[in-house]
Amino acid sequence: MTVRIASLVPSLTELVVALGLGDVLVARTGFCIHPAQALRAVPKVGGTKDVNLAKLERLAPTHVLVNVDENRRETVDALAAWAQPPQVIVTHPLDPEDNLALIDQLVAHFGALPGVRERAAALTGTLAAELAQTRPEGRAPQRVLYLIWREPWMTVARDTYIARMLARIGWHTFPAVTGGASGAARYPGLRGDEPWLADVEQVLLSSEPYRFDASHLAEAQRLCPNARARLVDGEMLSWYGPRAVPGLRYLRALADAVA
């Protein structure tokens, strides 16, 4: 069977290309922007949450890659109703360690294609080395507020990929809640008057999904008056797959800047 992959998740699109599958990638979202040169000719089919299903069906993918947090269940249900439904590959990495299983998951589906297993093995080895170097031992714990949105303020629960990424360097996100396997509770909102905000030591303003910039630093500082507010690269801290390799290095640099 000829393989035709549609990726509806930016991190997975990057992984597809890293595994040497760019030639069989037939669709991506408008947020799938890396690596730019490899994706230039790949058609866009809307966003992660508003997929143009009619256009996607015309592109006739055999496999569609989705993620529990980033895509809608309604999209997956619609794919199943097609006259020739594709195989839907559902991903849900919750921890940097889960990238190893994610690579294995794609190899299980596409490992017969030339070069995929070799590229996967190389990426797995590099990722394992970075994971081994990124540990909380010997680092001062920090109480962190990671902001992903404003008006209203929104942050991350402790069972999200972002929170567990930060936990690799002993940075613990607040509020100290878990959000469950899926749904809005994974990204709780803030009133702005919670007592624990006074105990936060680091406020991290992500570059995505809300594009925080320097104009928002003072506002965040008022939210947590005893914290240091700084801008951070959201791609480095929230994208999984091959981005986890430079992401873990970026994470260690953040920790070193506080030490």
**Domain boundary assignment for the chain:** 5-132, 142-258
Give tens-digit pLDDT for 84-123: 999 999 999 999 999 999 999 999 999 999 999 999 999 9
Residue 223: closest CA among 249, 243, 250, 205 = 205
Q: What pLDDT does 1 receive?
A: 76
Helix H or strand E segment including 218? helix 217-223
Give tens-digit pLDDT for 56-83: 999 999 999 999 999 999 999 999 999 9
pLDDT bucket at 178, cuts 50 / 70 / 90: very high
259 pLDDT more than 80: no
The angle subtended at Cα 200 by Cα 139 and Cα 253, nearest 5°, is: 35
- Mean pLDDT, to the nearest integer, of 165-177? 97
**CA-to-CA distance for 179 and 258, rounded, in angstroms?**
28
Q: What pLDDT does 257 receive?
A: 87
Assess if CATH 3.40.640.10 describes domain 5-132. no
- Mean pLDDT, to the nearest integer, of 255-259? 84
**CA-to-CA distance for 64 and 2, rounded, in angstroms?**
14
Report the percentage of the chain scoring pLDDT > 70.
100
The model's pTM: 0.95
Q: Are both 5-132 and 142-258 of the same fold?
A: yes
Give the architecture (CATH level 2) of 142-258: 3-Layer(aba) Sandwich (3.40)
